[in-house]
A and B are shown apart, each in its own frame.
Chain A
Amino acid sequence: MSLELEPERQTTPDAASVSPDRASREQGDIEPAVPDPDRPPPAGSWRHRHLLDVDALSWADISLVLRTTDAMHEVLRRPIAKVPALRGTNVTILFYEASTRTRVSFEVAAKNLSADVVNIAAASSSVSKGESLVDTIRTIEALGARMLVMRHATSGAPYLAAEHFSGHVLNGGDGWHAHPTQALLDLYTMREALGGRAGDSGPGGRPADRFLAGRKVVILGDILHSRVARSNLWTLTAAGADLWVCGPTTLLRGFDGWARRGVGGSSDRRFTVTSDVDAALRDADVVMALRIQRERMEGGLLPSLREYAARFGLTRERLASARPDAIVMHPGPMNEGVEIAPDVASGSHSVITDQVTNGVAVRMALLYLLAGSAGGSSGPAGSTASSSHD
């Protein structure tokens, strides 16, 4: 990671953005944490109380998450990979769907920040006795939860939770809808793998922070049921990627129209939808294979897993048409031999284990940033505090 010794682009250059920051700065020591409603928040600061989906994040917000993740990565490399930033904060993890990777990743992230972690598996809680979601949220809050990490099979469930919870809600995946932390860790992994590469930028170069400009990114597999794909569409088009979405036509239903309109209705955020694997993979920089979600397959969408593997599976032969330095990603868990061949999953192009490590760092960054935003006991909404120690 790099240290910022030069004036920061985000916070310093012009007088207009400097003055509120300067005026509130108590140099040389930790500043009094007294919010002043008359001052705008310092440039580059975090304003979101919840993380429900990436569609609410601006590119500046996403950049802040990535930079904060750099700092968390450094923490993970320390001999004692633990800092006291969230000491005394109760983080409750409420998962209504089976998960190991995401749940453990959130748990490790929260513990690395010294938070107190409470784990609730819905199957063994009062939920199985018929308690409603809202009652469960109120109970968890009464038990002291200040941050709630939630996964639910119903799209939109975390939004309902956010309406009834006074703290911060992080969406750990809801139905087919969104999986924001996965999209952000995928973006971080691409930045790590591709960001440093010599760019093929035109004259003047591309804007440094839209680091996927000119990069071909392919999402391959069960797009229809994938919250990972939906959230990734937002972040990848925001980062400027030449995005291709590829799978059997039955698993691309509805994406054609979205691709034409562009993500968020923005014409410069269009993407390509195709069932032609070879066209999609040609000269790709990033290939992300998605799991065939057998538990969400209604009858008739796929003839058989075997046929899917033969026509769409990511094999070494297919990958050969991508760029020689392409990276292969998969959000896990993998069906090896179905959507991805075992030798590709563990091959030299694979950054799948990096995704897992980056997931912890990204979730640390998000827990840290959300904990400081208005909500819970942390101060009135819209209030601000000075940007930092400097």
Chain B
Amino acid sequence: MTGRTIMTADEIRRAIVRISHELVEKQAGTGGLVLVGIQRRGVPLARRLADAVEEHEGVRLAVGALDITFYRDDLSLVAAQPIVKGTDLPFDLNGATVVLVDDVLYTGRTIRAAMDALVDFGRPQAIRLAVLVDRGHRELPIRADHVGKNVPTSREEVVRVHLLEIDGADDVAIERRVEAPLAGAVG
């Protein structure tokens, strides 16, 4: 498996700073904004966004973590149950503008599951989506409001995001899948 780096640590940092400005601009301030990272790599990304917003606005946005495992649409298809990482939303979602944060946007099924999960906790004023990488190939009518980098990919490729907090280093790489392409993958 050969990997090609498509984002360096520095590019990841700049993308997060840019998105942090976009978030505030779109909201015309920080009022009502909360960040919800999708387990696992969306969670450190959400914290970094909160750090960046704090740097230029002097306001600390609340950060939560969302585990979408129980809302997956393919639970009956997997042979071993995914390990649950845990949900922690320490704020009231009613009336809030929730920014969902994830590392890669692909089919859109994770985001569908995340929205289903969120509305069980309350009625947000709005739900927005920020992702580090949008690799295309949507299977649902979902788009991101804030994108770190758009990367054209083929379905035979795999996008790997590594973050310091989890993987010990920051970078995004693209790799060719080793095995033969999967016909009719659920993705």
Whether B110 contacts A84 by the Cβ 8 Å rule is no
Q: Interface digits, B158-187 against A, CB 8 Å rule (1 contact, 0 not)?
A: 111100011110000000001100100111
- Spell out A's residues near B (CB within 8 Å): 1-7, 10-11, 22-23, 25-36, 41-42, 44-47, 64, 67-68, 70-71, 74-75, 78-80, 82-86, 88-89, 113, 368-369, 371-374, 377-380, 383-390
Chain A facing B: main interface SS: loop
Could you name 12 residue pairs across A and B whose Cβ atoms are closer than 8 Å?
A5-B44, A26-B187, A27-B103, A27-B159, A27-B161, A29-B108, A68-B84, A84-B71, A84-B116, A85-B70, A378-B76, A384-B80
Whether B107 contacts A29 by the Cβ 8 Å rule is yes
Whether A2 contacts B81 by the Cβ 8 Å rule is no
Give Cα A74–Cα B160 distance, bound, in whole angstroms.
30
CB of A13, distance to nearest CB on chain B (Å): 11
Q: Which of chain B's residues 146-161 have a Cβ closer than 8 Å to chain A?
A: 158-161
How many residues of B are in contact with the other chain, CB < 8 A? 62
Whether B103 contacts A28 by the Cβ 8 Å rule is yes
From B67, B81, B179, A371 is in contact (CB under 8 Å) with: B81
Whether B104 contacts A27 by the Cβ 8 Å rule is yes
Whether A45 contacts B135 by the Cβ 8 Å rule is no
Give Cα A1–Cα B87 distance, bound, in whole angstroms.
9
Q: Judge if B68 is at the interface, Cβ distance under 8 Å.
A: yes
Whether B79 contacts A389 by the Cβ 8 Å rule is no
Q: Judge if B38 is at the interface, Cβ distance under 8 Å.
A: yes
Residues of A within 8 A of B65 (CB): 3
Residues of B within 8 A of A71 (CB): 67, 69, 84-87
Give Cα A385–Cα B167 distance, bound, in whole angstroms.
22
Q: Which of chain B's residues 44-92 have a Cβ closer than 8 Å to chain A?
A: 44, 65, 67-88
Give Cα A113–Cα B168 distance, bound, in whole angstroms.
36
Residues of A within 8 A of B40 (CB): 4-5, 388-390
Give Cα A47–Cα B81 distance, bound, in whole angstroms.
9
Residues of A within 8 A of B187 (CB): 26, 29-32
Give Cα A44–Cα B82 distance, bound, in whole angstroms.
10
Whether B44 contacts A373 by the Cβ 8 Å rule is no
Closest to B139 in A: A29
Residues of B within 8 A of A113 (CB): 70
Whether A383 contacts B79 by the Cβ 8 Å rule is yes
Give Cα A380–Cα B80 distance, bound, in whole angstroms.
11
